[in-house]
Chain A
Amino acid sequence: MSYRTHPSEHIAHNVDKADFLRMLGEYLKPDSLLSDPEDLRPYDCDALSVYKSLPWVVALPETVGQAQAVLRLCHQHGVPVVARGAGTGLSGGALPADNGVLLSLAKFNRILHIDPANRVARVQPGVRNAAVSEAALAYGLYYAPDPSSQIACTIGGNIAENSGGVHCLKYGLTVHNLLGLKLLTVDGELIELGSGGMDAAGYDLLALVTGSEGLLGVIVEATLRLLPAPTTARALLAAFGSVEQAGAGVAEIIGAGLVPAGLEMMDNLIIRAAEDFVHAGYPVDAAAIILCEMDGMAEQVDADLEQAQNILLRMGATEVRLAKTEAERKKFWAGRKSAFPAAGRISPDYYCMDGTIPRRSLAEVLHRIAVLSASYGIDVANVFHAGDGNLHPLLLYDASQPGQLERAEEVGGKILELCVAAGGTVTGEHGVGMEKINQMCIQFSPAELAQFHAVKAAFDPRGLLNPGKAVPSLHRCAEFGAMHIHRGILSFPELERY
């Protein structure tokens, strides 16, 4: 797949690599500083592995002091810095700059303190998401955000991307479960955001930094909110004869005042793929299934599930199955959680999209996706967090067939534009990164992008942190805009085209 660092987003410098390594070496141990192409190779991409670029240098600091030293040197010499956690991101957010330092936070991997009385965990950014809940379990607490990569992804990356997950309909995104941050600014200064309480003095910089994709600073510590573990969780599976009916069932559940812990939908293509893969017992002839989970006190869960069951039957479900045992509930979820690898079994390659739309547009957008799929000859399997309208269309293609990859990419771009046109967004939880940077030109006007750049400059005036990601330059948009019309007006008429 193709990406291009736009000339206007490239941060040039003339620093000699050997000199710079020597300077970094004064602060970092030899094994914390990598520059041989062979050592750099594992860092050339994140989980969007079709985008690759070798970093100039990789730095793996172990202390805040070392991370500060790396940032100070980069700042002093005008060298770009890309921070990296576990590298599980899906939008190329951790794609290295070829003349920059890749700052890995992998060695910041300690849970510093679990405070059960205040229900918080203080952790370093390299701690795995799932490890927080594992450590909190002893106190009957857990950390709610659960991106599907939670066994591998780390907290620093979760914050940088404002990660979601299956449970965010009820428990919110990362931003709703974060109380404090220690952040290094581009010049290596340590600032603390948030407080020990539920809010802080001044502007809500905690919210601003969350989801800022490494453009505003480098996270070196986080204070996470822990919740009491629910005593009961139960799930149901409902089968539908059409995707539209299933979509209407989702809307009814929400409209009835239920707040499921998870409300997921899968279409026939992915139902069959998942069933072949993990034998979850899914009805393979259904056009769509809904998985709905309730959690909380047993009495609440029973009341809510009964209501959900009645609604789904009334909305035309051909079958509603309540998981009778914990094992059966886990089996329901095993199918959903294996959806991506299952897609990998029915197609040599797949490309996962991440748009969000208002729920009411579900049927319309799915129909248009089907039309795109047919006209480009690219199969699309749909799995989504239906409760919050977050779509994950999986575009199935074969990279060994000439032209398929480019067609898949083009369909992907069109799907994102559909999401924007429906009143939604180009990314619900995976981030813009490098992947969706062109589509940002469609979602935002030049003045809005200029406001983003002004905010970026307040933190990082020279644009050294993760250049070329998340917020496109106006020149990039001018070029992209030559092919696209924004809200009925040709974008950037004043800018030179090249």
Chain B
Amino acid sequence: MQNENLSELLRERVLKAIAEGSPLLILGGGSKSFYGRTAVGEVLDMAGHSGIIAYEPTELVLTARTGTALSTIESVLDGQGQMLAFEPPHFGLATLGGTVACGLSGPRRAYAGSVRDSVLGVKLINGKGEILSFGGQVMKNVAGFDLSRLMVGALGTLGVLLEVSLKLVPKPEVEETRCFDMGADAALTAMSLWSGQAWPLSAACHDGERVYIRLSGAESAIRASAKQLGGERLPDGCAFWAGLREQNLPFFRQMDNSQASLLDANLAVPSLPREAGAAAIAESLWRISLPPAAPMLSLQGACFIDWGGALRWLKTDADAAAVFALAQQTGGHASLFRSIDRSGLVFQALPDPLKALHMRLKQAFDPLGIFNPGRLYQEW
């Protein structure tokens, strides 16, 4: 395992960029380069800055350098019967830093919390080239503003993450996946009902034809729940949820030609046949976050429902403006998750006062606009 502290070297790179006024593109494993807007800048390679700094299983806390591979962290935790609650996607060679900066959580998020819910503290380099620590390694800490959770999902625009401390959870004794044949509307109703009851749920999704729910806990509790809930037992539930997390279930792989090649490049999955749909218009994959019980959106295209209804993956060639508008009207927001064209609006536009506040915050961390300019929004 690599174990090297490059903090000072990275700080020198940042100071140089500040002196030259030249933007930096912060890069971990490059597994989520497809995500966010197209950005330009000199690559700041984080991959060498790696290693687990502290891990004490009885504290349920791990601190690691941000270039550490997610797979390394997960295998160390696995050895102690622990895991990350938010079940993050890897999409290839994910690092801790990229996982936190992108803020993407997997199927367990709806019942066990998100990346940001698990972050306890960070060490970062701000846009003045200062190394700063916020939060800490303890579960409860309300000293000062919560700048560590603010970094989650900021796509590296507020600073270069050096170290992150995460809260961990024990792995459940047993997991079992049950499935039920039903359409999307019935699925939304069923998932809403179950989520409001005290079942040991740890995931619930709908692939267009069936609802899949995952139960996690003590064997006696899982047996009792499965019996009362019914449905059919999915033999390899583990592979199914990993497939959803990594987006290599058939829903995510059966895109039109141009998208398929894009997915291949990002996921390193076997190539799909190229002949079919050669003339198809490029479909985009949208990630739409909604109130869980919100009805199906009236948009063309196939939809995969995750997070018990709160996350909708939509493959559509519909006009971006229409998707953004409908998501907002329905009480949520949309992002253009995978698309050929990432030069426009990728994330939901912010109302003016909120946008102004965002820009002032960016100024507060990165006054010269050095870090990942344009990755999140065009203006900063």
Contacts and interface: CB of A to CB of B under 8 A. Distances in A.
Interface of A: 115-120, 139-141, 161-162, 164, 168-169, 172-173, 175-176, 185, 189, 191-193, 195-205, 207-208, 210-212, 215-216, 228-231, 251-252, 254-259, 296-297, 299-300, 302-304, 356-360, 385, 388-390, 423-432, 436, 440, 443-445, 447-448, 451-452, 454-459, 470-471
Contact of A201 (B58, B225, B335, B361): B335
Contacts of A141: 196
Given A230-B198, A299-B223, A428-B142, 6 more contacts: A299-B224, A389-B139, A443-B143, A451-B132, A459-B357, A459-B360
Most A-side CB within 10 Å, residue of B138, B357, B365: B138
The 5 A-B pairs with the shortest beta carbon distances in the complex, nearest first, are A196-B331, A257-B170, A197-B289, A207-B149, A428-B140
B49 interface: no
Contacts of A360: 56, 58-59
Which of A115, A141, A176, A252 neighbours the largest number of chain B CB atoms within 10 Å of its CB?
A176
Interface in B125-140: 126, 128, 130, 132-134, 136-140
A208 B140 contact: no
Contacts of B294: 118, 196
A139 B311 CA distance: 24
Contact of A119 (B82, B150, B196, B199): B196
A122 to B, nearest CB: 11
Contacts of A255: 57-58
A452 B144 CA distance: 7
9 contacts: A198-B114, A202-B347, A202-B350, A205-B150, A231-B198, A296-B198, A297-B200, A388-B139, A428-B142
B59 A359 contact: yes
A140 B196 contact: yes
B347 A201 contact: yes
Contacts of A212: 145-146
Given A252-B58, A360-B58, A198 B138 contact: no
Contacts of A254: 58-60
B131 to A, nearest CB: 8
Nearest to A193: B354
Interface residues of B, number: 88
A120 to B, nearest CB: 8
Contacts of B199: 228, 297
A147 to B, nearest CB: 12
Contacts of B217: 296-297, 300
A45 to B, nearest CB: 20
A30 B365 CA distance: 44
B374 interface: no
Max chain B C-beta neighbours (<10 A), residue from A116, A162, A193, A255: A255
A431 B141 CA distance: 9
Contacts of A168: 139-140
A448 B293 contact: no
B292 interface: yes
Contacts of B351: 191-192
* Residue of B137, B142, B170 contacting most chain A CB atoms (<10 Å): B142
B298 interface: no
Given A203-B361, A255-B57, A211 B142 contact: yes
A208 B291 CA distance: 22
A117 B293 contact: yes
Given A175-B146, A452-B145, A457-B364, A303 B218 contact: yes
B150 A358 contact: no
A300 B218 CA distance: 6
Contacts of B133: 445, 448
A199 B363 contact: no
B140 A119 contact: no
Contacts of B208: none
Contacts of A300: 200, 217-218, 220-221
A207 B150 contact: yes
B238 interface: no
A330 to B, nearest CB: 20
A203 B150 contact: yes
A458 B195 contact: no
Contacts of B169: 259
A451 B58 contact: no
B292 A118 contact: yes
Nearest to A163: B142
**Most B Cβ at <10 Å: residue of A191, A199, A431, A443:** A199
Given A172-B117, A297-B217, A459-B357, A447 B137 contact: no
Contacts of A454: 364-365
A202 B358 contact: yes
B286 interface: no
Nearest to A359: B59
A215 B103 CA distance: 26
B171 interface: yes
Contacts of B60: 254
Given A296-B200, A424-B138, A203 B113 contact: no
Contacts of A252: 58
A325 B249 CA distance: 48
Contact of A198 (B110, B143, B293, B357): B110
Interface string B346-375: 011111011001101101110000000000
Contacts of A172: 113, 117
Interface string B301-322: 0000001001100000000000
B112 to A, nearest CB: 10
B183 interface: no
Contacts of A431: 142
Contacts of A426: 143
Contacts of B82: 257
A329 to B, nearest CB: 17
